Structure 1
Amino acid sequence: MVFGLKLPTIMNITGIMEEMDQYMHYVGGPAGAIALTGVAAASAFYLVSRPSSEKPLVDLMCQSRQLPGAELIRVSKFYKDSKEGKFVSYLYEDTRTLYDCFRRGSKESNDGPCLGWREKPTTPYQWLHYNEALLRAKNFGSGLVALGLIPGANTFLGIYSQNCPEWIIAEHGAYSYSMAIVPLYDTLGPDSCAYIIKQTEINVVVCEDDAKCNMLLDKAPMCLRKLIVIKETRPATNQRARNRGVEIIRFSDVEYMGAQKDNDEQPPRGEDLCTVCYTSGTTGNPKGVMLTHENVVASLCAVILQMGEHRPKSSDVLMSFLPLAHMLERCCENAMLMVGGSIGYFKGDIRNLSEDMKALKPTMVPAVPRLLNRIYDKVHAEIANSFVKKLLFNMALKAKESEIKRGVIRNNSFWDKVVFRKVQEGMGGQVRLMLVGSAPLAGNVLTFIRCAMGCLVMEGYGQTECTAPISLTVQGDHVPEHVGPPVACCCIKLVDVPEMEYYAHAGQGEVCVKGKNVFKGYYKDPEHTALTIDEQGWHHTGDVGMWLPNGTLKIIDRKKHIFKLSQGEYIIPEKIENIYSRSQYVNQVFVHGESLKSCIIAVVVPDVDVIKCWASENNIQGTFSVLCAHPEVKKLIMDDMLSWGKQASLKSFEQVKDIYLHPDPFSVQNGLLTPTFKSKRPEIRSYFKPQIEDMYAKLT
């Protein structure tokens, strides 16, 4: 017993809080008693589980090194030769390509489990071990050669599938014969997929299922000759393919054919192309980012170097659910393959991700802010209606945050067992490392995740053009809302953006990157390549950053998406959106302005839980759609947005003059977000054209 609470119940946050609610009802004063309960129990538990702090790998007050010279270039402190302007390319002499990485991992793992999956929600994970995975990859690559593909970096293999073991087998099968991979993904749509296949002249695409086959067949270019299917297709689909001159072949048949032919492998070199990864882009056709084996190996080695003792090991298990079509997940999985770790794949339904994690029990999880925001919102919704739950939660958060500030990372404290166990078990209960990227993460959410998960959470900043990471936070740095120092495979400088009043001498400017991770250019697109990579080899990211006093980078703005109002004032909508997003009532916001108008307006997707709670407290009835049309709800949200704008010192012309409330979130599915969850501004503007015109009509 712990102050009247049964120990079996203590592992369940909902159960313990309900019992404490009842207990406080009988003893009277909830605040004092619960505080006494928490302090006494925490003190007792502390004595038997004394935490030890970890020493940071670099001085947290000076996390990067500035090179001599007028350009104010900053480099990593995790690589001793960086002070001489050199970058890490690899960690092991015999591991310089992704082909090498897989073979090293096989030795490190001693033929341990490699690729895992489960057939049904009720079944455990089953595993393909390293030697078998390597053999299947070799056989598949040999089968590609048997189908007529010519070994070499100029031969491209398309992959159009959700994450699964066959994705990796196909990828490394291609690498066994120096071929390059071109990933396709659902949200590109039929037109963009057809554009990519035609531009890269792909003859063969590995396709997951019947639906994806039909999507490709809808607008199949003449160059597409074969679809290799992972799952069975319908006879009607097979006939449709034949009618279009496309042959459908089973994945297993290609492996069998390759095993029979047993073509000699032709491994790639570091400078060989390993992928053309197309960025979705917010406008125009997607652009194909050309990345070499050296680019990817340097990138993942730099991140591993920066992790120190937390680096992945052969005993680690990674949960794969972020799209393999994007470089963040590709780098994470190939890093696991290099160290001999295990990769388990979710079943494909993000709504059941927690069940997959409980079955897999991963130790490493690459994540995106969208997922972590959901966890944060769910926990806060759970405690919203109970004073005691809020009190206990806030005590737990404060205690864990205090430990994090002292360099303590653990998940076995009293607060972990009482308050945060449910969150941890929702991700399998064994996560020790989480990598977060692809979009900015709010400081309060990052701090919550670090406290609740009791593991190292590293936030990175990067781009496809830089093979994912550019900078990464350091173990021991508990301060949120920055993206750490440069990783060891590149250097960073800031360049003046005078039209936005950002200057490098003041520690602000466009983030420019040079190093082993910077791409070779856009495929068959020298014009955009020249606009992005300058004559000195610096990649201009389009993001605006600032150096913090401790040598870490903070992303503060975006160079693009600037427009003028009729009075000549420049508006940077993303800056204003980031400020308005701090409002508890705002889930998503799109700020719009026009050169013929004197003010800006916004489309706002309110936070459904917060708005419903407020409406209930204020006796306002109706569905969420009805609430979005309610004038009092609109006034509440707009007043709070303007208040946040005032706090952030927005000028009067930077504050919105009207808003439209929309009940449905912007999403990848409805075409208003890119696959990396950035706003597709032209599409949003077009989608809400009637509402935008109506708002401006009322303001004139």
Structure 2
Amino acid sequence: MSTFNLEAAEAQWAAHLDKQMVAVPGSKEEGFSEIYKNAAFPEVSADTTAYDLFLQGYNMDPNANCLGHRPWDEAKGDLADYFSWRTYADTETERTALGSAMSAWVEQGLLTSRPDEKGQVDEPGMVDFSVAYWGANRPEATVVALALNAYSRCVVSLYDNYDAAVSCYILQHSKSRVLFTTSSYIPIVLRNAEKLPYLKVLVILDHPGPAALAHGEIEKEQLAREWAALHGIHVFSYKDVVNQGLASPRPHIVSRDPNHLDALCYTSGTTGLPKASRITSGNCGLGIEGLRYVVFQEKMVAISYLPLAHILERGWEMYVLRVGGSIGYYSGKVERLLEDLQILKPTAMPSVPRVLNRIAGQIEAQLEAPGLKGFLLRRAVNAKIKNYNETGAITHPFWDRLVFRKVRALLGGRINFMFTGSAPCRPDVLRLLRVALCVDVREGYGQTENCAYATFMAPHDRHLGSVGPVNPGIELRLRDCPDLGYTTSDKPYPRGEIMFRGQTVFTGYEGDEKKTAETLMEGKDGRGPWLLTGDVGQIDQYGRLQIVDRVKNLIKLAQGEYIAIERVEGLFASLPLVQQLWLYGDSYQPHLVGVCVPEPEPFAEFASRILKRSVSAADQKALEEAAADPAVNEAFLREFIKLGKRQKVGTLEQIRALKLRMEPFSPENGLMTPTLKIKRQEAAKQLKKDLDELYSHPPYDLSKVNDAKL
């Protein structure tokens, strides 16, 4: 299909739901499966660049809303109850101004590096130098990225919660000449300025807030400028940079080379320092154009709240702009996200399993509520699930109006498409959310190394439990993992390590040829390298990919049995009582143990019931005392075991000892990455005393627990 047509695309998918991938004839090799392509759209290609993608949205309607935020309301002393919008035309003007100002800095010599230990300096050309963004989600971050696309420069994004060591490593490793950031990060940068010889300009942006300064307070920009001058670094406000560019606009400098480096995307680094994935203009083009054949949402209103440095959020925003949609940026505070949603009223929303599990857990908790409210919700959910299983319908004329309209209102009331990625999501969670939110919630799969464009559930596929077929335009195959017991000749379904090939696969890690060689494997047919994902998958009866294990995160217990620790963790984390869960096991121990951070409100109710006294969710000391109580701990563990039995997990996958703690795992205490993945090795070090205590007792007797619900 050379020209995209929505109705034709939907019909094409409908014709291939029973077999969503096709094997390339004659492609089977020893130790590998056949090569699979998307059955509906096997040969989609794109020669568009990241620069073209924005212009395509711009050309649909230059006056349409593009990027929005909640401005500061001086009268209220708080954020406004509305979104203020830049149009596509405003955004185009602003990105040209930013790019023009940077061109002027090159001409003025502002971006020439400080002398190194040999007295040598490095002077950039007009193109190909790196510019970094470090901060929360906001419109300016996207304008910066668009400006760099327009002038063939490289964008580097840092997670908002990076610490000093990692952030400075990335700035140095990427040789970033300019950093756009908020005043809160300026001290970290300037305290480490001697380690950053390439960094020459700081551009300050701040969240909306009061305009007036307190008595005796000096401007943050003035203070930063005086401090930075000591290190030969120039400081500007974002507004001043835009005005500089408006005063002297320069023509865009656009590279048409598909191999041009558009971005260095740093992985979150669960072990060691993050790696820099090289993302080219060609990678971006197919990844965004190909989504049109899968997502089917045009001119949507989307909310931006997932980390901008993550390839999932960055790619999604590019897609929204490609189809002429609008992006509203959340307030920057997670606790106000529901408020942002209700004001913005988005029509599309990305998510991750961690968030979806918590939403599903809250709905499940309400299902157990006594009285009429609980009765009605149970009736409604059961009726809709029965209807869904029979027809695939996610709406119901009676129950939606009576019950689920209020649930949808929590997300603004207009959401009609949600997707999830970054980790597997349980089928029962997706089913519950589809019927409770009346939304087409679909799961996808991808990595930084393939621009998060790998697989996506097909439209109207009601058979859950997969991440869908390989995406249009790229190829998938499996590689035998005999040491783990997975082969491509397994029956009934082939299994093995998942591999991808195609235009979206990255060119390697910047400055790390060893890791690149470990990640990319040249094919025998000479048609380009295969990306080794490290995930184990199988191809099901519908020609879809199912993630079954992780090559590197399998742990072996003392019996010699392997456990897919992250899969089991995700299953148990759906318990409504759970905020965070970390499971641990190794080859010297015969069973799994867990460390859990409870969700305060349901945990307070749970502990009150066990202790037969009131425990308040607002009383941190009372919560900590309850978490340390042996009776509460045992009762909590029993709930995990009940859930495991209902989900039919293996005996060795059950949690046999548990530690409760009220302090969450976080990037600040070193136990999580900026993408909120647990640093397993660091957790094992920091919590060694807890692990030793858990393993000092006999494992809990599973026969003492039946699978009845609370």
Q: 1:539 pairs with 531, 548, 551, which one?
A: 531
Aligned CA distance change for structure 1 residues 695 and 214 (closer, same or farther; 3 Å): same
Deviation at 1:605, TM superposition (A): 3.2
Asked if the contact 1:290–1:523 (Cα under 8 Å) also holds between the matched residues in 2, the reply is yes
Question: 1:178-220: per-residue Cα shift (whole Å, max 9, x none)?
Answer: 111000123331111111111111111111x210222322323
Q: Which has the higher mean CA deviation after the structures are superposed, 515-524 or 453-462?
A: 453-462
Mapped partners of 1:225, 1:264: distance in 2 = 23
Deviation at 1:274, TM superposition (A): 0.9
CA RMSD of aligned residues (A): 2.6
Scaled by the length of structure 1, the TM-score of the pair is 0.84
The offset of 1:473, in angstroms, is 0.7
Superposed, 1:604-615 pairs within 5 Å as 604-615=596-607
Aligned residue type for 1:223: Y
The answer to whether the 8 Å contact 2:451/2:506 transfers is yes
* SS of equivalent residue, structure 2 residue 676: coil
**Is 1:300–1:331's contact at 8 Å kept on the other side of the alignment?**
yes
User: Using a 3 Å threshold, how does the CA distance of structure 1 residues 609 and 356 change in structure 2: closer, same or farther?
Assistant: closer
Are the aligned partners of 1:484 and 1:552 in contact in 2 as well (CA < 8 Å)? yes
CA shift, 1:273, in A, is: 1.3
Q: Residue 456 in 1 paired to residue 440 in 2? A: yes
Q: Does 1:353 align with 2:305?
A: no
2:192 corresponds, among 219, 223, 227, to: 219
Distance 1:103 1:288 in 2: 28
CA distance in 2, matches of 1:648, 1:410: 24
In the alignment, is the contact (CA less than 8 A) between 1:567 and 1:598 conserved in 2?
yes
Q: Which residue of 2 aligns with 1:130?
A: 88
Q: CA deviation at 1:241?
A: 1.9
Is 2:92 aligned against 1:100? no
Report the alpha carbon displacement of residue 235 of structure 1 after superposing the two structures with TM: 3.3
- 1:245 deviates by 2.6
* Residues 591-612 of structure 1, C-alpha deviations (whole Å, 9 max, x = no match): 3234554554332334555544
Q: SS of the residue aligned with 1:115? A: strand
| Counterpart among 159, 163, 169 of residue 143 in structure 2 | 169
Correspondence for 2:298 among 313, 328, 341: 313
Give the conservation status (yes or no) of the 8 Å contact 1:362–1:428: yes
Identity %: 32
Cα distance in 2 for residues equivalent to 1:568 and 1:619:
40
Q: Check whether the contact 2:595–2:658 (CA below 8 A) recurs between aligned residues.
A: yes
Q: List runs of 5+ in structure 2 lacking aligned partners.
A: 1-9, 73-78, 112-123, 207-218, 524-528, 616-621, 700-710
- Which of 247, 250, 269 does residue 237 from structure 2 map onto? 250
**Paired letter, 1:72:** E
Residue in 1 aligned with 2:167?
193
Question: Shift of residue 74 of structure 1?
Answer: 1.6
Moved more, 434-443 or 319-328: 434-443
Partners of 2:684 and 2:439 lie apart in 1 by 41
Instruction: Write the distance in 1 (CA, Å) between the matches of 2:549 and 2:499.
Output: 14
The Cα shift of 1:277 comes to 0.5
Q: Distance in 2 between matches of 1:474 and 1:653?
A: 34
**How many corresponding residue pairs?**
632
**Is the counterpart of residue 470 in structure 1 residue 469 in structure 2?**
no
Give the corresponding residue for 2:133: 159
Q: 1:332 deviation in Å?
A: 1.4
Report if the CA contact (8 A) 1:494-1:511 is conserved: yes
1:522 aligns with 2:524: no
**Partners of 1:443 and 1:609 in 2: CA distance:** 26
Deviations 1:465-524 (A, max 9, x none): 110131111121123332111111321111111221111222111111111111110111
8 Å Cα contact 2:364-2:576 kept in structure 1? no
- 1:668, CA displacement in angstroms? 3.9
Q: Are the counterparts in 2 of residues 586 and 605 from structure 1 also a CA contact under 8 Å?
A: yes
From the two aligned structures, give the one with the greater helix fraction. Answer: 1
CA distance in 2, matches of 1:89, 1:233: 48
Output one character per residue of 1:316-359: Cα deviation in whole Å (capped at 9) or x when no partner: 21111112211111111111211211111111112111221222
TM-score w.r.t. the length of structure 2 is 0.83
Is the Cα contact below 8 Å between 2:16 and 2:39 reproduced in 1? no
C-alpha displacement at 1:616, in angstroms? 3.6
Aligned residues of 1:566 and 1:596 also touching (Cα < 8 A): yes
1:669 CA displacement:
4.4
Q: 1:582 to 1:177 in 2, by over 3 A?
A: closer
Equivalent in the alignment of 2:249? 262
Distance 1:410-1:638 versus aligned 2 partners, 3 A rule: closer
- Tell me: CA distance 1:533–1:609, structure 2 relative to 1, closer, same or farther (3 Å): same
Cα pair 1:439 1:677 within 8 Å, conserved: no
- Offset of residue 110 of structure 1: 4.3
Q: C-alpha separation between the residues in 2 aligned to 1:332 and 1:177?
A: 22
Give the direction of change, closer, same or farther, for the CA distance of 1:153–1:290 in structure 2 (3 Å limit): farther
Query: Superposition pairs for residues 138-537 of structure 1, below 5 Å?
Result: 138-148=96-106, 150=124, 154-207=128-181, 209-220=182-193, 221-231=196-206, 233-269=220-256, 270-307=258-295, 311-314=296-299, 316-382=300-366, 384-405=368-389, 413-506=397-490, 507-536=494-523, 537=529
Distance in 2 of aligned mates of 1:278 and 1:676 = 11
User: For residues 225-254 of structure 1, what are the alpha-carbon distances to aligned partners after superposition, in whole Å with 9 as ceiling and x for unaligned?
Assistant: 111112373533332222233211112222
1:74 counterpart residue number: 36
Residues of 2 paired with 1:643 and 1:429: CA distance? Answer: 35
Tell which deviates more after alignment, 656-665 or 284-293: 656-665
- Compared with structure 1, are the counterparts of its residues 683 and 137 closer, same or farther at alpha carbon in structure 2 (3 Å cutoff)? same
- Which of 29, 45, 49 is residue 89 of structure 1 equivalent to? 45
Alpha-carbon distance in 2 for matches of 1:482, 1:426: 28
> What secondary structure sits across from 1:188 in the alignment?
coil
For residues 674-689 of structure 1, the aligned pairs below 5 Å read 674-689=673-688
